[in-house]
Amino acid sequence: MADRYDFYFQSKKPEDVLGFKFFTAGFSRTVAVRGVWKLTCQWLKCFMTPKGSDPTEPEYGTEFSRLIGTNITNMQDLRDVVMLAIEDCNTQIQTIQRKTQPATDELLLTAVLTQFQEMGKDGFEAWVTVRSLANKELTIRLPDLATRK
């Protein structure tokens, strides 16, 4: 069987985000991805999609993007919302993967919050590590989706 690749989408710069469009196909050549990158892209797409915004799948997505513009100032409450969104996303991705049966290096083992800290007066920085069943991992920073190896 030929290797299956997925379309790699790019995150937008925080200053370019209008409304809830966090991703773009970019202006450069399309890049095919597989393995932990493909898994991370699938996970991020679900995580950043506002729950209820897809009319064909109303339960798809999480409440994470609804934090933008909220007045939650308690860092523990923010951390709890982020952790609940991560758990919700993990459950959805695992359910999707039971149906699609991807390769082992693209199967979600876990995604966990590895770091959470206050940034300035109104912001926070959260790092999430996405790990595949093949024990490959990628750590990303929310909400701007920078990576750390």
Q: Which residue has the tokens 């999430």?
A: 128
How far is residue 41 from each of residues 95, 120, 123, measured CA to CA in Å? 16, 28, 24
- pLDDT grade for 144, boundaries at 50, 70 and 90: low
Q: In terms of pLDDT, which residue wins out, 35 or 148?
A: 35
Alpha helices in the chain (DSSP H): 36-48, 75-100
| pLDDT recorded at residue 148 | 66
Q: Which residue has the tokens 């597989």?
A: 34
Ordered structural domains, the chain, with CATH? 6-148 (3.10.450)
| pLDDT recorded at residue 10 | 56
Dig out the tokens for 27 from the structure: 């202006």
Closest CA to 47 of 17, 77, 87: 87
- pLDDT grade for 131, boundaries at 50, 70 and 90: very high
| Of 1-5, 9-13, 25-29, the least confident | 1-5
- Condensed to tens digits (0 to 9), the pLDDT of residues 19-66 reads 555 555 555 555 667 788 889 889 998 998 899 998 889 999 999 988
Cβ 37 vs Cβ 8: under 8 Å: yes
Cβ neighbours for 16, distance < 8 A, ≥ 6 positions apart: none
Say if residue 2's pLDDT is above 50: no
- Condensed to tens digits (0 to 9), the pLDDT of residues 56-106 reads 899 999 999 888 777 777 888 889 999 999 999 999 999 999 998 888 889
d(CA 147, CA 21): 19
| pLDDT recorded at residue 123 | 78
Q: In terms of pLDDT, which residue wins out, 68 or 2?
A: 68
| pLDDT recorded at residue 147 | 65
Q: In terms of pLDDT, which residue wins out, 78 or 146?
A: 78
